Amino acid sequence: MSSLFSEIQTDILNPKSNITDILRKCLVLAYKINNDVFIKWAELELGGYGNSDVLPDYRIQSTMIKGDFTDGHGRTFQGMIIDKHFVPDFLKDIFCSGKMDYPASYLESLLHYSGDTDPRKDMPMSVLCEFKNLYSGLFCMKAYEILPRTGCYSIIDSIKNKILKFLLEIEKKIENIEDIKLSKEDEKAITQTFTNHIYGNANIANASENFNQNIQLQSDELINNLLSELLQLKEQGKDVDTIDTVIPQIEEMKQIKDQKGIMDKLASVMTIAGGSASVCSLVAQYIPAISKLIG
């Protein structure tokens, strides 16, 4: 009888396999090897992430807010961009953060049933009045967040790739892993290998790090939000050259692990932005939040 390790690997390599079955087998395997970190991750991927759960960086994607408008005389204008600044604060974490916290099965279903269009998540009707002055003479009939198909694909692929790399690495380190009683050293090695492949940080379990797992992910989330808003600004044709220059600088912030380095990079970005009031203003809004997070 084939092992769970080989079954999961075969399923990952089979394009017809669904992500739910793969994750369920992972959950069984996680219990068999008695690894709490693996168990928790598989449960979150199956059931979705809550507000108190740390969201892995591969589940933060660039999203966009759009709306359907009317002039009140029978003409409609669909898919018009709504700047995220106009979204009420109490909804920004839900609709503007790019957090794809849904169960993996839901993301996979969006790809199957949304056709060739990008999936979307409708905003409450009660907030449409917030967009009444966004376009002169137009009234918002519906607003929604666009969840890009590429983002859904990216998350599903990331889950599969991370599981596959983790299993291959563990099999290489510990022979007959399913048939032996693991030592404390083996369990520690599995936990470290798992966090390396799933969360992408070899030192993620080291609590003495200045940037622990939660802070690193929150910092990356803020940076991803800033990048998303800059891209939206660029799509409106504003300060295109400046935005193309600062985006690589902002991307580099994800690799910086100390407060001074982060703040120096932000100052550098502000300097590069120069006379671009819109870019400087957008970046400046993120400085307090990033500074508070890493301070």
| Spatial distance between the Cα atoms of 141 and 76, rounded to a whole number of angstroms | 9
Whether 66 contacts 80, CB under 8 Å: yes
Residues 161 and 130 in one domain: no
Residues 287 and 242 in one domain: yes
Q: How far is CA 26 from CA 14, 184, 253, in A?
A: 16, 21, 33
Handedness of CA 146, 148, 151, 156 (dihedral sign): positive
Residues 44 and 167 in one domain: yes
The neighbouring-strand residues paired with 139 are: 70
Q: Is residue 223 part of a domain?
A: yes
Residue pLDDT tens, the chain, 295 long = 357 888 999 999 998 899 999 999 999 988 888 888 899 999 999 999 887 788 888 998 888 999 999 998 889 999 999 998 889 888 888 888 888 888 999 888 888 776 667 888 889 998 898 898 789 889 999 999 988 888 888 999 999 999 999 988 888 877 666 555 566 776 677 777 777 766 665 444 443 343 455 566 677 777 888 888 888 888 888 788 888 888 888 888 877 766 667 777 777 777 777 667 778 778 777 777 776 666 5
| Spatial distance between the Cα atoms of 95 and 144, rounded to a whole number of angstroms | 8
pTM, rounded to two decimals: 0.57
Contacts of 12 (CB under 8 A, 6+ apart): 22, 160, 163, 164
Residues 241 and 282 in one domain: yes
Whether 66 contacts 82, CB under 8 Å: yes
Residues 66 and 47 in one domain: no
117 burial level (CB within 10 Å; 0-12, 13-18, 19+): exposed
Q: Is residue 208 part of a domain?
A: no
Q: Is residue 251 part of a domain?
A: yes
Q: Is residue 233 part of a domain?
A: yes
Considering its fold, how many domains does the chain have in total? 3
The neighbouring-strand residues paired with 65 are: 145
Whether 217 contacts 56, CB under 8 Å: yes
Residues 184 and 224 in one domain: no
Residues 53 and 70 in one domain: no
| DSSP-assigned letter for residue 176 | T
User: What is the structure's pLDDT at 1?
Assistant: 35
Residues 37 and 181 in one domain: yes
User: What is the structure's pLDDT at 144?
Assistant: 93
Whether 239 contacts 233, CB under 8 Å: yes
Residues 73 and 141 in one domain: yes
Q: Is residue 242 part of a domain?
A: yes
| Spatial distance between the Cα atoms of 125 and 84, rounded to a whole number of angstroms | 16
Q: Collapse the DSSP code of 121 into the 3-class scheme (helix H, G, I; strand E, B; otherwise coil) and give the result.
A: strand
295 burial level (CB within 10 Å; 0-12, 13-18, 19+): exposed
Residue count of the chain, please give it: 295
Helix%, strand%, coil% for the chain, nearest 5: 60, 10, 30
Residues 91 and 133 in one domain: yes
Structure tokens given for 104? 């993996």
The neighbouring-strand residues paired with 143 are: 67
Task: Give the count of beta carbons closer than 10 Å to the beta carbon of residue 26.
Answer: 24
Residues 135 and 182 in one domain: no
The backbone torsions φ and ψ at residue 139, rounded to the nearest 5 degrees and listed phi first, read -115, 135
Q: Which domain holds residue 112?
A: 62-147
Residues 122 and 266 in one domain: no
- The secondary structure element, H or E, covering residue 149 is helix 149-173
